[in-house]
Amino acid sequence: MWSAIENLKIRLSLALTWRSPERVASAIRGFQVTEADGVWHLHRAIERLEDPRTKAVIFTHGLEEECHADVFGSVQRLYAGGLSSPMHFERKDLYAADDPAWKIFAFVNVGELDATQRFRLLRGALPEGPLRDALKSIIDDEEGHVHLTYDMLRRMGASPGEIRVEFVKVRLSRAWEAWLRVGKRMVDGLATVLLSLVYFLLGPFVARAARRRLEHRVVEFDSAHLKHL
C-alpha cells in the first residue's frame, strides 16, 4: 500500500518537476542534504558509544553516507548548470542525552529503509541519466545499511519488543513531520497568492516611496542605534 502511494507520488512529482532542471537540481540537493544529515546523526552516535569496535562499524557507515552526499552533490551540479543558493537543514538531536544510544539506530534504520524504497522507485521511473546511474550503487549501499543498523540494534542489547515499539514511534514521528511539510507547502502556496495580490494592489502606490528611500546614499549620524540596550 505504502509502496503504491509512494510510487504514484514519485511518478506525479517526476511528471511535474522533470521538465525543469532547476527543480530537479533542487530535489537532488535535498537528497544530498539528507545524506549529510545521516552522517551527522551517525557521528553523534559514535560520540555516545563506548565500544571502539562498534564505533568503527558506524564510522565506516558514516564514510559511505558522506560519499553518497558527495555523489548527489556532483550530480546536482550537472543538473543545476549554474550557481545554487545554499540549503541548510536545522540539525535536531533525535534523542535526549539519557536515552539509550540504540534508539538512534532505530531512527536510522527506518530512514534507510524508506530511502532504499524511495530511491528504487525513483530509479525505476527516471529516464537514463546521471542521477539514475548514481542511484544504482547508492541503493545497494542503503540496503546494506538497513541490515547493518538492525544488526546494531540487536548487538546493543535492544529486545525485539523494544525495537518494534521504537519503530512505531519513529514511523509516527516521520508521518507527523511529513504532514507538517504538506501543511507548510499549502501555507506557502496560499502565501504566494496573497502576497502577489498585495504586491499588485499596493505596489503602484508605494514603489515610488521605496525608490526615494533607496536614493539616500549617505546617512547622517544619530544615536538610534543605542536606544534598544
Distance (Å, rounded) from C-alpha 151 to C-alpha 157?
10
**Is position 225 an interface residue for other proteins (rule: CB under 8 A)?**
yes
CA angle, 150 then 151 then 155, to 5°: 120
Nearer to other proteins, 8 or 197 (CB): 197
- What is the closest distance, in whole angstroms, from the C-beta atom of residue 40 to other proteins in the complex? 6
CB atoms within 10 A of CB 111: 20
Residue numbers 7-66 binding other proteins by CB under 8 A: 36, 39-40, 43, 46-47, 50, 52-53, 55-56, 59-60, 62-64, 66
For the chain, the residue count is: 229
Stretch that binds other proteins, among 7-15, 151-159, 171-179, 186-194 (CB under 8 A): 186-194
Distance (Å, rounded) from C-alpha 202 to C-alpha 115?
45
- Residue whose C-alpha cell reads 507527523 in the numeric block: 176
Stretch that binds other proteins, among 5-13, 118-126, 174-182, 196-204 (CB under 8 A): 196-204
- What is the closest distance, in whole angstroms, from the C-beta atom of residue 104 to other proteins in the complex? 14
Handedness of CA 92, 98, 103, 105 (dihedral sign): positive
Nearer to other proteins, 5 or 226 (CB): 226
Contacts of residue 52, defined as CB under 8 A and 6 or more positions apart, other chains included, come to: none
Residue numbers 106-125 binding other proteins by CB under 8 A: none
- What is the closest distance, in whole angstroms, from the C-beta atom of residue 10 to other proteins in the complex? 27
Distance (Å, rounded) from C-alpha 203 to C-alpha 208?
9
- What is the closest distance, in whole angstroms, from the C-beta atom of residue 49 to other proteins in the complex? 9
| Region label for 76, one of left (φ > 0), alpha (ψ between -120 and 50) or beta (otherwise) | alpha
- What is the closest distance, in whole angstroms, from the C-beta atom of residue 63 to other proteins in the complex? 5
Cα–Cα distances in Å, from 149 out to 42, 106, 120? 11, 7, 19
Contact 162, 99 (CB under 8 A): no
Nearer to other proteins, 7 or 17 (CB): 17
Nearer to other proteins, 35 or 166 (CB): 35
**Is position 89 an interface residue for other proteins (rule: CB under 8 A)?**
yes
Distance (Å, rounded) from C-alpha 153 to C-alpha 57?
13
Q: Write out the residues near other proteins by the rule CB under 8 A.
A: 36, 39-40, 43, 46-47, 50, 52-53, 55-56, 59-60, 62-64, 66-67, 70, 73, 77, 81-86, 88-91, 137, 188, 191-192, 195-196, 198-200, 203-204, 206-207, 210-211, 213-214, 216-225, 228-229
